């Protein structure tokens, strides 16, 4: 069976990359080949995975690979008014450009400079085609770390996504963003594949009831407590997966991932 395709979204700073990175590292430890795709223009999944700064400096965001994009689409990034292929060849990109780290393969999409009304340009066409290929044609497990939205996913691609996980934190603002993401997700047919993780929780009962009041049908995969060790790990550029003193925290990520896999497997039977 093909690996699950999981997309993670949520308001800035809620913990998307922390969760995406922890899941990828856990899957790798379980011997499952996993492709981690950093689809946030403000890319920081590599740091969350615990990659060293020297290695991070060698990563090449695909959006800035101008000659590759030109070769595949037939148009030069940054110039307007050109004709280009809407169906570029992308099947070899992950193999060529992903960087391995502790059993995880990481691909960084990078930022696309947008004009006023969104971007229909060679860069975004190339990245969309790549994500579409990775979701629909590639057999590996895929974890997509996104910004607050569903950028890079269209209707066709969404049909192959098994789960869109929305991360929230206590307070009304991340719930407001969650509502917005849910609308965008429904527009592309992901409405029935939405899941929640409540992160940075200090008062479990209260926070869960706030979430359920706003989204009564929410399927909650788990909650993760607020814990200073995440901040310390972030400052040191270290993943909780590399810290024996954080086994208790890793269990929260394992549990949420196991819940997701169980639900999706049942649905797909």
Name the H helices within 142-203: 155-158, 172-187
Q: Name every residue whose Cβ is closer than 8 Å to that of residue 145 and which is 6 or more positions away in sequence.
A: 8, 16, 17, 20, 21, 36, 37, 38, 39, 40, 45
Q: Does 17 bind Mg ion (CB under 5 A)?
A: yes
Residue 244 touches which of ligand ATP, Mg ion, none (CB < 5 to 8 A by kind)? none
Give the residue with the Cβ less far from ligand ATP, 125 or 168: 168
| 199 touches, from Mg ion, ligand ATP, none (C-beta below 5 to 8 Å by class) | ligand ATP
Closest CA to 253 of 218, 221, 227: 221
CB of 36 to ligand ATP, least distance (A): 13
Say which entry of ligand ATP, Mg ion, none residue 12 contacts (CB below 5 to 8 A, set by partner kind): ligand ATP
State the burial class of residue 264 (Cβ atoms within 10 Å of its Cβ: 0-12, 13-18, 19+).
middle
Least distance in angstroms from the C-beta of 260 to ligand ATP: 18
Most distant pair of Cα atoms in the chain: their distance: 56
124 touches Mg ion by CB under 5 A: no
Q: Shortest gap between Cβ of 173 and ligand ATP (angstroms)?
A: 13
3-class SS of residue 101 = strand
**Tokens standing for 112?**
């696309």
What whole-number distance in Å separates Cα of residue 210 and Cα of residue 216? 10
Tell me 62's DSSP state. Answer: G
Closest CA to 7 of 219, 167, 124: 167
Span interacting with Mg ion, options 16-24, 173-181, 204-212, 243-251, rule CB under 5 A: 16-24
Q: Closest CB to ligand ATP among 15 and 88?
A: 15
Residues 30-59 that bind ligand ATP (CB under 6 A): 40, 42, 44, 48
Q: Which of residues 41-100 bind Mg ion (CB under 5 A)?
A: 44
- How far CA 45 is from CA of 8, 23, 158, 201, in Å, comes to 12, 12, 22, 22
Instruction: Compute how many residues bind ligand ATP; rule: CB under 6 A.
Output: 20
243 contributes a contact to ligand ATP by CB under 6 A: no
Asked whether position 227 contacts ligand ATP by CB under 6 A, the answer is yes
Chain contacts with ligand ATP (rule: CB under 6 A):
10, 12-18, 40, 42, 44, 48, 199-200, 224, 226-227, 230-231, 234
Chain contacts with Mg ion (rule: CB under 5 A):
16-17, 44
């Amino acid at each position: 069976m093909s690996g699950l395709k999981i997309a993670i979204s949520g308001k800035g700073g809620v913990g998307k990359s922390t969760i995406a990175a922890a899941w990828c590292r856990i899957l790798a430890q379980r011997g499952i080949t996993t492709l981690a795709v950093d689809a946030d223009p403000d890319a920081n999944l590599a740091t969350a995975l615990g990659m060293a700064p020297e290695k991070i400096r060698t990563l090449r965001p695909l959006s800035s690979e101008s000659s590759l994009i030109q070769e595949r689409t037939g148009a030069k990034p940054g110039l307007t008014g050109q004709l280009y292929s809407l169906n570029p060849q992308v099947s070899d990109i992950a193999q060529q450009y992903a960087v391995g780290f502790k059993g995880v393969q990481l691909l960084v999409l990078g930022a696309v400079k947008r004009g006023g009304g969104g971007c229909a340009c060679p860069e975004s066409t190339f990245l969309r085609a790549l994500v579409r290929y990775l979701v629909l044609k590639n057999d590996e497990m895929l974890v997509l770390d996104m910004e607050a939205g569903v950028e890079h996913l269209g209707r066709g691609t969404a049909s192959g996504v098994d789960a869109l996980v929305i991360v929230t934190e206590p307070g009304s603002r991340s719930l407001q963003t969650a509502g917005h993401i849910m609308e965008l997700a429904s527009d592309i047919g992901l409405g029935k594949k939405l899941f929640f993780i409540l992160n940075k929780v200090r008062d479990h009962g209260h926070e869960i009831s706030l979430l359920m009041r706003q989204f009564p049908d929410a399927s909650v995969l788990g909650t993760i407590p607020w814990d200073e060790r995440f901040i310390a790990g972030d400052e040191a550029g270290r993943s909780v997966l590399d810290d024996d003193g954080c086994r208790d925290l890793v269990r929260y990520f394992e549990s949420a991932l196991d819940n997701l896999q169980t639900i999706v497997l049942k649905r797909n039977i």
